[in-house]
Amino acid sequence: MSQTKNTNWGQFIPLVTVFFFWGFIAASNDILIPVFKKAFDLSQGQSQFVSLAFYIAYTVGSIIYMIVSLIMGKDLINKLGYKNSLSLGLLISALGTLLFIPAANLESYPLMLSGLFTVALGFSLQQTVANPLAIALGDPKTGSQRLTLAGGINNLGTTIGPLIVAYAIFGSATEPSSDLSVDSVKIPYLCLGVAFLLVAIFLKFSSLPSHPEQEEENEDTVNVVKDRSSALKYPQLILGMIAIFLYVGVEVSTASNLPDYMQKELGFTISQVAPYVSLYWASMMIGRWGGAAEAFGLDKTKTLILKFVAPYLAFGIFLLVNKIAGHDLKPFYFYAVFILALIIADISTKGNPAKMVLTFSIIGIIALLVGMNTSGLVSVYAITSVGLFCSTLWPGIFALAIKGLGKNTSQGSSFLIMMIMGGGVMSYLQGLLADATTIHFSYVTGIICFSYLVFYAIISPIVLKKQGIHLSEVKSEGGH
């Protein structure tokens, strides 16, 4: 019995390669935005079509998946198998990278967006498969920790992605290229396409299961009210879908509008912005590495120690890759204070998802208010610290949204994945607001998003209690 409860690391490690790619590409988009803005002479709102095209693909992919499954009369992923579905998703993403060749040759912004859309379409299928598969590769009681750990690998990709793509486009930090052309994006994205193909082949012949055994529900996760006919009949899911939409919205829009703010108001060049974009996404890694401490089965004392050590280890990786890239590290040392605040806040929530969402949303509002009312690097660090406080919001929201859904849990999960489109929509809306006012003021968009999350953290325990569900039974699930 104990054998089945151990995490299957031999299968889990190959799986997390796709989590790495999701992060690498998503964060690299923040470098493409200012590049395309200059090359195609776009407004800030128009430049945010990069985020919109990328994140809307998750919703389109989910809809296609549901329609195909309906036509087939059987779930598409169950028909193809988990391993084949992952490989297919990677092949679709590889096809998307090929579109960068004619897009660059024709200097076509719409074709560039089509390439990003296709890459993300493949990611939609991969994400639909990889999240439940990570849960299935061991004890379901530690499923959330495995997803948090996978999320940490995702954010390793978000940390190094902007640096590598910026180096490929601009050259070294000390001698950035002055000749900026959309043609420069071909090589890095073709290299990614080759990587997608290699990983697709690797996963096809890996030991990953095609049809993982479905774990029986634990007694503390069985719905205490009668299952309803649809996941959409549960108010916690409806409220949670809005929360996921706005959470991904503030996470993505905060970073995607940062380069324009630093260029217009602080005088940074496009290439100089890369380490700060990297810091934002590294902040997500820092928070999630601390949140994955329980995944290793240590005693309480060692787990507490790891909660302090792991975030700073992640911060050390950020410093190391920036040192290798030739960036000055002195401006970043003070960020260690923000990390300490994150650790203390995380420990204070004691794993309660409602407290996590409430605490980190309030701190996120404070960080953006500081960023909007200060200038210089103080403002930049306040804005980048939003990444720290977004790092644990996905698992908290996810846990509250699917609690009590019973047989409708998988359907509810697919609806939540669809809401990732909020990353593109909110980025675009913030870009429009920046064009109408100032980029500095446009960060009020994030404050509005966080305000709803505060409301969700307060109302969801009340909704669940009416169904006989108490938060002492709810643990954080998932990780985007």
Quick one: pLDDT at residue 228? 64
pLDDT tens, residue order, the chain (480 aa): 333 456 677 788 888 889 888 888 887 888 888 888 888 999 988 988 998 899 899 889 888 988 888 898 877 887 888 889 999 999 999 999 999 999 989 999 999 999 999 999 999 888 878 876 776 677 655 666 677 778 788 888 877 888 888 888 776 544 555 556 778 888 888 988 999 999 999 888 888 887 765 444 444 444 445 556 677 889 999 999 999 999 999 999 998 889 888 988 888 887 788 889 889 988 988 988 887 776 676 788 988 999 999 999 999 999 998 898 888 899 899 999 999 999 999 888 877 888 989 999 999 999 999 999 998 889 999 999 999 999 888 878 887 888 887 777 767 777 888 898 898 899 999 999 999 998 889 999 999 999 999 999 999 999 998 888 876 655 554 445
CATH architecture of 2-473: Up-down Bundle (1.20)
SS3 38: helix
Are 479 and 148 in contact by the 8 Å Cβ rule? The answer is: yes
* CB count in 10 Å sphere of residue 148: 28
Helix axis angle, 270-291 relative to 376-384, nearest 10°? 40
Report the amino acid identity of residue 37: K
Q: Is 267 left (phi over 0), alpha (psi -120 to 50) or beta?
A: left
Give one DSSP letter per residue of 95-107, joined into a string: HHHHTHHHHHHHT
Are 208 and 14 in contact by the 8 Å Cβ rule? The answer is: yes
Closest CA to 444 of 456, 434, 457: 434
- Give me the residue spans of the domains in the chain: 2-473
Give one DSSP letter per residue of 269-313, joined into a string: -HHHHHHHHHHHHHHHHHHHHHHTGGGG---HHHHHHHHHHHHHH
Q: What are phi and psi of 209, to 5 degrees?
A: -75, 145
Task: Return the DSSP state at 439.
Answer: T
Structure tokens, 456: 């969700």
Closest CA to 380 of 460, 439, 425, 322: 439
CA distance 257 to 261: 7
* pTM for this prediction: 0.78
Q: What are phi and psi of 343, to 5 degrees?
A: -60, -45
Are 214 and 136 in contact by the 8 Å Cβ rule? The answer is: yes
Report the amino acid identity of residue 38: K
